[in-house]
Structure 1
Amino acid sequence: MSTSSVGISTSLGVSSPGIGSGLDVTGIISKLMAVESQPITLLSAKEASYQAQITAYGTLSGALSSFQSSLSSLTNASTFQSLSATPADSTIFTASSTPGATLGNYAVSVNALAQAQSLTAAGQTSSTAAIGSGTSTTLTFSFGTITGTASSTGVYPSGTTFTQDPTQATKTVTIDSTNNSLQGIRDAINAAGIGVTASIVNDGSSTPYRLQLTSTTGLTHSMEISVSGDATLSNLLSYDVTKAAGSGQNLTQGLAAQDANLTVNGLAITSPSNTVTDAIPNTTLNLLKTGTTSMSIANSTSGVASAVQSFVNAYNSLNSAISSLTSYDATTKQAGLLNGDVTTMTIQNRLRGVLTQPIPGLANTSFTDLAQLGVSVNQNDGSLQLDMNTLQSAIASNPSDIAGLFASVGKATDSLVSYANSSTNTQPGTYAVTVSQLATQGNDVGNVNLSSGITLTTSNNTLNVTLDGNTQSITLNPGTYTSSQLASLVQSTINGNSSFAGAGSSVAVSINGTSGFMTIQSNKYGSSSNVSVAASGAGTALMGGTGTSTAGVDVAGTINGVAATGSGQFLNGATGTAVDGLQLQIKGGSLGSRGTVSYSQGYASTFNTILSNYLSPNSIISSAQSGINQNITDITNQINAMNQYLTQVQSNYQAQFTNLDVLMGQMQSTQNYLTQQISQMSYTYKNYG
């Protein structure tokens, strides 16, 4: 915060050119006051210098903040672990991989692309004219699998079956007098968001306007459409492949639903989508056409090189800003605003010192300093220089170790213990880990034998579920289900609930092969994980109404010998200790000692911690600014006091010189009188002697 200076008053607004003497009183006082006010001029100049320093500190803080922002992605190890997935023929598919994907070469054959079923209704003469009477009509869409092959005209023969997928809920659309045109039907279906896209095509015939319905890709997304209400709409839109053309099978199929079919290293894989995410772990394939090619997953040298270059550029921008503030030009004898400033020199030396220090806590690595990556310090100006050839060689030799030189990295000796997170409070080091309790998941176990399956009707298909503290009413599709179909139905319906999904909650449902009892288990871990089913409706039919509900528990243990806080599977280091902010995930395993975790902060993370301190409200920059602002306040007070003093001095001068002017005027009058008298006396004497 800065304080504005106070102006100097040098005149009382009184002009006295000399009442009787001709004396320039105003001019004399002005010159005297100019001398008297010289201390204020000096103080004002000093204040301006302080204000410039405040501005310079603001520039310094801005440069530090920009540097910290540039480091945000560089503090994450994943930034330096980017992978490239490269197909030999990218016209067949494109691919991308994330850290965790297995490096290597893959043979991929795309035998069929996923396809959505497309149905076309009979042509109409108008797309806007009303169809039918306008009676409220319900279109019910079911999704599943068709067995059989349609003819070239898009009609399925007798004997074709449709099996509804229990994991996909039935959807409805209402048509009435407000929307019973082709356009209205199209818009109603699209607005319903049921996984079906409606469009109108013009085939150029005498009845050119035809409604087309396209489902989501995948074999199990074939449509069955039942229409209740207006008969004309039923004749137009009913679609049941078990019935004859025109007698229930009233639309024709243009494209059949099918899954994508591919092989990866000879292993057959099917996918309902052309975006395949589960064929290769941490790798996504975007299928474009059928064909065979190879794909290589490797470390992305360009991604790692770009990250290192970003670090060098960010540091050099900060170094340039500080150098400008602390510079001195011997030719012009002009110095930067913070030249010689102790605070700035402390910061500059601290930052430069980081670059020459080894990374504490960094274990089992190929690289220990920046020079091994081709990064060196220019001794003339302190900037960083990058030798790209040296960096590329380092990336080729051991790319996974480069992350440790820049980011926060944790490595556990136990394969079921993993480093999850840290904070600026976490100190580098190697810490022992013990586990006294593993995290568990909440579940509810029923007592009804469902081995033979069950039939759900509208009277027993409502399931009231409390999942992770959130209670929702779930409606299951009526039908007859085997035990495996039932488990799939309950799981997909619960997981499809928007409230549960929005809270990040989901379940896994299974039926015990021996007892036939259903288990609904939360996919979360810890004390916030719980499942309970109310003893009504489907709850009674599926769980018996007296199921056993067990809440999950949090992991418990110690890090560095101090009790840690458990949250789900995560152990959090104790506040105020060396492991403050250290978070470990305990995925399973035994109780007792679980080895050690080595934690290190690379250069980017170390800088981030230091910068957080320098940019905090209690930093040395803030202290320096507070000191300067106090100096400005003191100067302002001095100027105010001196202005008051000068006002009085000027008033005194005004009175004194005004009196002098009057006195000199009187003396001038006396002189004139005496001169006149003497002249008169001389005249008298001369003429009248």
Structure 2
Amino acid sequence: MVTSVDGLVSGLDSAGLISQLMDLERQPQLRLKARQASNQKVIDAFQTLNSKFLAIETAAGALNGASGWGLMKAGSSAPDKVAATASSGATSGSLSFNVTNLAAAHSVVSSTGVASLSTVVATGDFTIGSTTITAAEFGDGSLSSVVSAINASAAGVSAAAVQVSAGSYKLQLTAKATGDASAFTVDATNLTALGNFAGIVTQGIDALVQVGSGPGAYSVTSASNTLTTLLSGVTLTLKGQGAATVSVDADVDGTADKVGALVSAVNSAITSIKSQSGYDAATKTAGIFLSNQLARGLQQTLTNAVTSSVSASSLMSGGYAGISIGKDGLFAFDKTKFTTALVKDPTAVKGLFLANTGITSDDGIAERLRLVAKSATTFGTGQIALAIEGRKSENKQLESQITNWDSRLAQKEKAFKRQYGNLETMLGRLRNQGSWLAGQLGSLGNTQ
């Protein structure tokens, strides 16, 4: 370990001198750290931009597939009796029908009540349907224990201890499923305290929907109150008895909202680039993307994807479907204009956005944007992905160099301390020698 007494002999501020020398020695490492910090800012900016492009890909993809373009909506004239939802596979039309029965779960109650929940009601194994509840499951055999055992079993029923009057608790069993097939039997041989279970609270029954009243009338049954087969692509949820009419139409508003979301995603990406491409004269600070050709190129690619003509559609331009570009380079979406165009010519509008010709320049707007976003973000090959990985790789190398510099600087500082320590030692010796010589000369003078 190198030790020194700061300027004890020389009077020099050796610690200050060493500090200044080390500041000079650190300059190469500081430049490496500055480069690393600059790289990290670029990485952060591109990671944010990457998320913006992924959002574009998601929004563009949302216009395709089963739940994308061609959205349908269903409405009910009696929502208190029937609720309806439609998928994109539904077809326009309407159907009137009458809900005659709602599906119900089979439910029974014991014929005899007991005084309390702790009363022993089970003296041995008992069976519900094909499931046997054993003594190991119901424990002390009390009503509360029997209820717990049934609910924990695979019998397919829910058990409840119901107080029918003061000091009288009965066991009620209700099927978890609904419909005719929900009926079950109870072997109550070892439940003598509860009597039998012949008392039906609710008869398990299928839902029944009657369509029409003439010679061609027909009925549809369902074990549950959810019907998915009466109207293709439409799910009906039965809520009450009575007449209802369900209508299915194209959901132009839903499709418009998806297009609007895509436009917003594009604007978000462009804004992310623009906001970091300027120069602040007051602070003399340049934006991360000011001279970054990749970022500016991606912005132009997005703009071209939206504004270029689409030869696969008779509309040719997004302007006919409500998309326009402002002086700031951002896009506006006129939902009313879009829905009007969609109702007038759904095929042309669909082609304008979704045409997939295999030639990017001829593809629809959404398809172009999807491909642009995918090309930019795909790990290993995407432009943004490669830019991020390139900077990360450089930073990893810089980190190794910075670490090496830590060791070199530590050695350099140790050497400086040794040199100044040696200087102090040498000066101390010289001073001692001078003092000795002065003493000797003084002695010579005294002897004369």
* TM-score normalized with structure 1 length: 0.53
- The secondary structure found in structure 2 opposite 1:396 is helix
Q: Name 1:612's counterpart in structure 2.
A: 377
Q: Conserved in 2, the CA contact under 8 Å of 1:304 and 1:395?
A: no
Aligned AA for 1:270? Answer: T
Match of 1:24 among 4, 8, 11: 11
Q: Name 1:413's counterpart in structure 2.
A: none
Q: What per-residue deviation string (whole Å, max 9, x for no partner) do you get for residues 326-356 of structure 1? A: 3311233212345323454454444445444
- The secondary structure found in structure 1 opposite 2:208 is strand
Matched ranges for 1:198-209 at <5 A:
198-204=159-165, 208-209=168-169
Aligned AA for 2:12? Answer: V
Q: Conserved in 1, the CA contact under 8 Å of 2:171 and 2:194?
A: no
Aligned length: 432
Q: Name 1:217's counterpart in structure 2.
A: 178
Q: What per-residue deviation string (whole Å, max 9, x for no partner) do you get for residues 82-130 of structure 1? A: 3221112211211111111111222232232223333333131334423
Which runs of 5 or more residues in structure 1 are unaligned? 1-10, 142-170, 238-250, 411-426, 431-597, 685-689
- Check 1:331–1:129 CA distance in 2 against 1; reply closer, same or farther (3 A cut): same
Q: In structure 1, what is the Cα distance between the partners aligned to 2:232 and 2:131?
A: 37
Q: In structure 2, what is the Cα distance between the partners aligned to 1:369 and 1:676?
A: 112
Matched, 1:258 2:245: no
Matched, 1:375 2:375: no
> Of the two structures, which has the highest relative contact order with CA contacts closer than 8 Å and spacing of 6 or more?
2
Distance apart, 1:428 and its partner CA: 3.0
Q: Name 1:627's counterpart in structure 2.
A: 394
Distance apart, 1:670 and its partner CA: 7.1
Matched ranges for 1:6-25 at <5 A:
13-15=3-5, 17=7, 19=9, 23-25=10-12
Q: Conserved in 2, the CA contact under 8 Å of 1:373 and 1:390?
A: yes
Specify which structure has the higher proportion of strand: 1
Q: Name 2:236's counterpart in structure 1.
A: 285
Matched ranges for 1:102-501 at <5 A:
102-126=91-115, 127-131=117-121, 134-139=123-128, 141=129, 171-174=130-133, 176=135, 178=139, 180-204=141-165, 208-215=168-175, 216-223=177-184, 225=185, 227=187, 229-230=189-190, 232=192, 236-237=196-197, 251-264=198-211, 267-357=218-308, 363=312, 365=313, 370-380=318-328, 382-398=329-345, 428=358
Aligned AA for 1:199? Answer: A
- Check 1:51–1:82 CA distance in 2 against 1; reply closer, same or farther (3 A cut): same
Distance apart, 1:601 and its partner CA: 7.1
Aligned AA for 2:132? Answer: V
- The secondary structure found in structure 2 opposite 1:317 is helix
Aligned AA for 2:58? Answer: S
Q: Percent of aligned positions with the same letter in both sequences? A: 22
Distance apart, 1:52 and its partner CA: 1.9
Q: In structure 2, what is the Cα distance between the partners aligned to 1:347 and 1:614?
A: 17
- Check 1:623–1:231 CA distance in 2 against 1; reply closer, same or farther (3 A cut): closer
Aligned AA for 1:172? Answer: T
Distance apart, 1:287 and its partner CA: 1.0
Q: In structure 2, what is the Cα distance between the partners aligned to 1:204 and 1:384?
A: 70
- Check 1:276–1:650 CA distance in 2 against 1; reply closer, same or farther (3 A cut): same
Q: Conserved in 2, the CA contact under 8 Å of 1:179 and 1:188?
A: no
Q: What per-residue deviation string (whole Å, max 9, x for no partner) do you get for residues 490-540 of structure 1? A: xxxxxxxxxxxxxxxxxxxxxxxxxxxxxxxxxxxxxxxxxxxxxxxxxxx
Q: In structure 2, what is the Cα distance between the partners aligned to 1:254 and 1:228?
A: 17
- The secondary structure found in structure 2 opposite 1:306 is helix
- Check 1:641–1:60 CA distance in 2 against 1; reply closer, same or farther (3 A cut): same
Aligned AA for 1:227? Answer: D
- Check 1:298–1:649 CA distance in 2 against 1; reply closer, same or farther (3 A cut): same
Distance apart, 1:288 and its partner CA: 1.2
Q: In structure 1, what is the Cα distance between the partners aligned to 2:401 and 2:32?
A: 10
Q: What per-residue deviation string (whole Å, max 9, x for no partner) do you get for residues 363-386 of structure 1? A: 5x5665544443344443x44332
Matched ranges for 1:505-516 at <5 A:
none
* TM-score normalized with structure 2 length: 0.77
Distance apart, 1:262 and its partner CA: 1.9
Q: Name 2:86's counterpart in structure 1.
A: 97
Aligned CA-pair RMSD: 4.3
Q: In structure 1, what is the Cα distance between the partners aligned to 2:160 and 2:346?
A: 51
Q: In structure 1, what is the Cα distance between the partners aligned to 2:352 and 2:442?
A: 103
Q: Conserved in 2, the CA contact under 8 Å of 1:217 and 1:272?
A: yes
- The secondary structure found in structure 2 opposite 1:624 is helix
Q: In structure 2, what is the Cα distance between the partners aligned to 1:639 and 1:231?
A: 83
- The secondary structure found in structure 2 opposite 1:331 is coil
- Check 1:657–1:195 CA distance in 2 against 1; reply closer, same or farther (3 A cut): closer
Q: Conserved in 1, the CA contact under 8 Å of 2:71 and 2:88?
A: yes
- Check 1:336–1:669 CA distance in 2 against 1; reply closer, same or farther (3 A cut): farther
